[in-house]
């Protein structure tokens, strides 16, 4: 682990954090870079007539260049937003609204983040047509299906770079090539991809790309949208006002947050290779130990086309929320229905064809910058102990041990 990247906690007793796809702590080096812009350098970056404003503007522009650099883009192509949710809304609705006279069709994927799916639902209510591509069992889209879905009315294709639940990486370069051939824009929600995998908007023919601050050890409340200039992508702003950010996103820029996002990108760009190798090793350690000690554990999503910091496992015959209650020393998330307000199991896992009963038994393990080997080992011990205990009290496990085929039983849905 690079120096200066540990986070000291004064109070002990906190669970081990293994939920890095939900959010990440802000890197102390990022906080350090942000601090002056809360106090002595508090100027409005849009104040053109005095030193306070210039100083803030310089800081914001440096951050913009840092974000552009990790995407291999031009700084002029970066728009600051409040986060990936806003970026996705702006990309999808903004492009669709601008081109609505000529084109009325959007292609996306069933496993997208809710903010993409919901933006598409809104477009449908306004008369647009949306195609939701299915995914294969490994979580990746079928490129032939994508090709077939694009028509001359298709204004954009929106496919996430990395899935937030199962960590799988979509074939961005191939998707970009198809979109370019067909003359439609390619937007990608890269909230979970920036700093985790190399991205190149030109090599991958990406026209719009959403960035989140808090998923990459930056602050919460800031994100960015890359919008291609050559050839120029036109979009209609959703937030209007003083015309900041080339008129695409009005509102005074939050200088400290912009600086934080920039610094987070700079660190990620510098350390990505080393970090990925370290996380991959930790993940392999976790996965191998679990498999050695527990039967009937199933991986959800492709193992190869996956970011190193994610595992999504189904522990058959043990319900996810019940399991989470046992592994008190770990902070993870589950695809079980019981952990969500909707009482529906994860729509992402369902889209992979994971059966509902298996979706209920899933845990998402997110490994990140501050995870240690000792934490991985402690996590394995807790999970193994609790899965074993809960299987002993699972009627399903008992029936399977007795050789009963669970599918032969007529279950009463409730």
Catalytic residues: 338
Query: E strands of 110-264, at which residues?
Result: 129-133, 154-158, 185-189, 208-212, 223-227
Taking CB under 8 A as the binding criterion, the range among 41-49, 153-161, 253-261, 320-328 that sits at the site for another protein is 320-328
Residue numbers 337-376 binding another protein by CB under 8 A: 337-338, 341, 343, 345, 355-357, 360
CB of 338 to another protein, least distance (A): 4
CB of 25 to another protein, least distance (A): 23
Can you tell me which of 395, 403, 405, 408 binds another protein, judged by CB under 8 A? 395
CB of 345 to another protein, least distance (A): 7
**Whole-angstrom Cα distance, residue 257 to residue 263?**
10
Q: Which residues of 273-305 are buried (b: 16+ CB within 10 A; e: fewer)?
A: eebbebbeebbeebbebbeeebeebeebbbeeb
Q: Does residue 404 touch another protein according to CB under 8 A? A: no
Q: 65 vs 338, which CB is nearer to another protein?
A: 338
How many whole angstroms from its chain centre is CA 18? 15
Taking CB under 8 A as the binding criterion, the range among 22-30, 87-95, 101-109, 387-395 that sits at the site for another protein is 387-395
Q: Does residue 15 touch another protein according to CB under 8 A? A: no
- CB of 377 within 8 A of CB of 287? no
- Which tokens in the block code for residue 274? 């080393």
- Which tokens in the block code for residue 340? 């969500």
Q: Does residue 32 touch another protein according to CB under 8 A? A: no
CB of 113 to another protein, least distance (A): 23
Q: Which residues of 104-136 are buried (b: 16+ CB within 10 A; e: fewer)?
A: bbbbbbebbbebbbebbeebeeeebebbebebe
Can you tell me which of 12, 392, 403, 405 binds another protein, judged by CB under 8 A? 392
- Which tokens in the block code for residue 113? 């983040």
Q: Does residue 327 touch another protein according to CB under 8 A? A: no
Q: Does residue 322 touch another protein according to CB under 8 A? A: yes
Place of tokens 């986060």: 83
Taking CB under 8 A as the binding criterion, the range among 54-62, 116-124, 305-313, 315-323 that sits at the site for another protein is 315-323
DSSP symbols for 64-81: HHHHHHHHT--GGGEEEE
**Whole-angstrom Cα distance, residue 180 to residue 38?**
43
Q: Which residues bind another protein (CB under 8 A)?
A: 317-322, 325-326, 336-338, 341, 343, 345, 355-357, 360, 392-398, 406, 411-414
């Amino acid at each position: 682990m690079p120096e200066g990247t540990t986070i000291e906690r004064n109070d002990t007793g906190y669970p081990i954090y293994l939920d890095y796809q939900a959010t990440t702590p802000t890197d102390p080096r990022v906080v350090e870079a942000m601090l002056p812009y809360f106090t002595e350098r508090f100027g409005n970056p849009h104040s053109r007539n005095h030193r306070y404003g210039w100083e803030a503007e310089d800081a914001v522009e440096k951050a913009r260049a840092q974000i552009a650099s990790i995407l291999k883009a031009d700084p002029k192509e970066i728009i600051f937003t409040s986060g990936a949710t806003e970026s996705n809304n702006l990309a999808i609705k903004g492009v669709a609204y601008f081109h609505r006279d000529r084109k009325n069709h959007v292609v996306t994927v069933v496993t997208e983040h809710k903010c993409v799916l919901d933006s598409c639902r809104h477009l449908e209510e306004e008369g647009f047509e949306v195609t939701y591509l299915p995914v294969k069992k490994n979580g990746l889209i079928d490129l032939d299906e994508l090709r077939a879905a694009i028509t001359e009315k298709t204004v954009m294709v929106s496919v996430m770079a990395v899935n937030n639940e199962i960590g799988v990486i979509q074939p961005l370069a191939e998707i970009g090539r198809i979109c370019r051939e067909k003359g439609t824009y390619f937007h990608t929600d890269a909230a979970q991809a920036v700093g985790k995998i190399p991205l190149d908007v030109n090599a991958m023919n990406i026209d719009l790309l959403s960035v989140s601050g808090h998923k990459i050890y930056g602050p919460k409340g800031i994100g960015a949208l890359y919008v291609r200039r050559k050839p120029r992508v036109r979009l209609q702003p959703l937030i209007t006002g003083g015309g900041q950010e080339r008129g695409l996103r009005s509102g005074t820029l939050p200088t400290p947050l912009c600086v934080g996002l920039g610094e987070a990108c700079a660190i990620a760009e510098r350390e990505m290779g080393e970090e990925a190798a370290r996380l991959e090793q930790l993940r392999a350690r976790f996965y191998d130990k679990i498999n050695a000690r527990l039967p009937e554990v199933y991986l959800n999503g492709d193992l190869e086309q996956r970011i190193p910091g994610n595992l999504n496992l189904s522990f058959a015959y043990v319900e996810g929320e019940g399991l989470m209650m046992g592994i008190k020393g770990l902070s993870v998330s589950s695809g079980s229905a019981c952990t969500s307000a909707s009482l529906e199991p994860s729509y992402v896992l369902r889209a992979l064809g994971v059966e509902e009963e298996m979706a209920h038994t899933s845990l998402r393990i997110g490994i990140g910058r501050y995870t240690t080997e000792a934490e991985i080992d402690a996590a394995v011990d807790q999970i193994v102990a609790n899965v074993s205990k809960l299987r002993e009290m699972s009627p399903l496990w008992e029936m399977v041990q007795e050789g009963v085929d669970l599918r032969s039983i007529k279950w009463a849905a409730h």
